[in-house]
Amino acid sequence: FLPAVVASCLCLCICILVMTLILISLPLLKSVEVCPSSCQCLQGGAVKCVGYNITDIPKQILADKVLLLHGNKLETLTPDMFEGLVNLLQLDLSQNNLGKLSSDAFNGLNKLLSLNLGRNFIKKLPPTIFSSLTELKQLGELFLNDNKLQSLPDNIFHGLGQLLLIDLKCNQLKSLTGDIFLSNAVLKTLSLSGNPWDCTCSIRGFAKWIRDNEQVVLDRGYVTCYSPVHRQNSTINSLPEEEFKTCDSFTVTNSPPNKHNLHEPTKTSRPVSTSGQNLVFDSKTALCYLILSLKQNIVLNPVAASLILEEDKKNCSEMLKPRRFPRKTAHTPLYSSSKHCTYFRAYVQITRWWGFLFVQPHFREIVSV
């Protein structure tokens, strides 16, 4: 009787041991079975699918924490593409061919800490692609660098209050609103260089934000103006508020309404200079900006009178940077002296229409005095 009992106990112990080994090895067996051939399933819940030229995200990926998909050929992000990856902390989609993103692409990724969309072909972001994720409050890093973004929705970062890093360098951004980062109170690093910033009135609010938050914009020395010409290569944080004082007074344009042709004087047109008279133009900032931002060709006017810019000669000469006109014209390029402003022999006609100021100058020659 005793040997039978011992044998039964031994058999039971062996069964328990076998079941324990099976339960321990089951996760390992499962991960081996579902890991796609184009990926590497690493320890710690990380999946690496890098450089395999995949065009779609492999199904049934067991990426509990990290999913690396950079260096592939993904073109679109569709709704619920990352369904089931609720514990994902890091998602890297850089160096793909992404151009179109669904506003619901990141649904369910409520624990995400780092999102990399850099080095793609993204031209625009859906306004709610981030703000619609009301539970995505932990995102700390957002990489949008090296894309083709031309603008950003005003509230694109609203609700992402834990963002520490935003990378926007090397895009095609010309301007941003002054309150676009209002919700990002803990932001520590913002990269903005490599964009063709348009330093006209539209950038006024954003320029002030940069001046007030210089410690955040680490590459501020390379965040420079691309236009207009007289501000080219100036850093945005160096533009004082005085540079934009004309934005509060009137709008200058070289494209007036069709029914007001500046080449043909109307009842509301008035020449500010007449033949044989010299006129000192007090609004130097407005005139300097006007002259250097004109896009049409200069028209010769042999009977033009002199128009003199002489108020605050230092500032005026700083604005009149060297500029050459298109090769198809043979006009003398604008230039300035380090001590004096520039004299223009010109006839200027001003037309007021519905509060706007339209100016049409015709230059005959330029001399420095």
pLDDT tens profile 164-211: 999 999 999 999 999 999 989 999 999 999 999 999 999 999 999 999
Least confident of 25-29, 223-227, 284-288, 299-303: 299-303
Which of 143, 169, 191 delimits the end of a domain? Answer: 191
Is residue 88, in this structure, part of any structural domain at all?
yes
pLDDT greater at residue 94 or residue 104: 94
Q: Cα separation of 23 and 350, whole Å?
A: 87
Complete edge-to-edge strand list for the sheet that includes strand 90-92 = 40-42, 46-48, 66-68, 90-92, 114-116, 141-143, 165-167, 189-191
What pLDDT sits at residue 135? 60
What pLDDT sits at residue 206? 96
Is residue 227, in this structure, part of any structural domain at all?
no
What pLDDT sits at residue 24? 66
Residue 21 confidence (pLDDT) above 90: no
CATH number at residue 115: 3.80.10.10
Residue 11 confidence (pLDDT) above 80: no
187 and 267 assigned to the same domain:
no
pLDDT band at 364, cuts 50/70/90? very low
Which of 191, 221, 244 delimits the end of a domain? Answer: 191
Which of 139, 157, 191 delimits the end of a domain? Answer: 191
* 226-236 per-position pLDDT tens digit: 999 999 999 99
Q: Give residue 281's domain range.
A: 252-368
332 and 262 assigned to the same domain:
yes
Structural domains of the chain, count:
2
110 and 258 assigned to the same domain:
no
Is residue 263, in this structure, part of any structural domain at all?
yes
Is residue 170, in this structure, part of any structural domain at all?
yes
Is residue 232, in this structure, part of any structural domain at all?
no
61 and 163 assigned to the same domain:
yes
Q: Are 296 and 322 in contact (CB under 8 A)?
A: no
Is residue 14, in this structure, part of any structural domain at all?
no
280 and 165 assigned to the same domain:
no
Strand 305-308 vs strand 342-353: parallel, antiparallel, or unpaired?
antiparallel
Residue 355 amino acid letter? G
Sorted by sequence, the CB contacts under 8 Å of residue 14 that are 6+ apart come out as none
177 and 62 assigned to the same domain:
yes
What pLDDT sits at residue 235? 96
52 and 186 assigned to the same domain:
yes
What pLDDT sits at residue 138? 80
Q: Are 236 and 210 in contact (CB under 8 A)?
A: yes
Q: Distance of alpha carbon 116 from its chain centroid, rounded?
A: 16
167 and 295 assigned to the same domain:
no
pLDDT band at 246, cuts 50/70/90? confident
Report the mean per-residue pLDDT for the chain: 71
Is residue 234, in this structure, part of any structural domain at all?
no
Percent residues over pLDDT 70 in the chain: 59
Is residue 4, in this structure, part of any structural domain at all?
no
pLDDT band at 1, cuts 50/70/90? low
162 and 80 assigned to the same domain:
yes
What pLDDT sits at residue 259? 37
Residue 239 confidence (pLDDT) above 80: yes
186 and 256 assigned to the same domain:
no
185 and 282 assigned to the same domain:
no
176 and 322 assigned to the same domain:
no
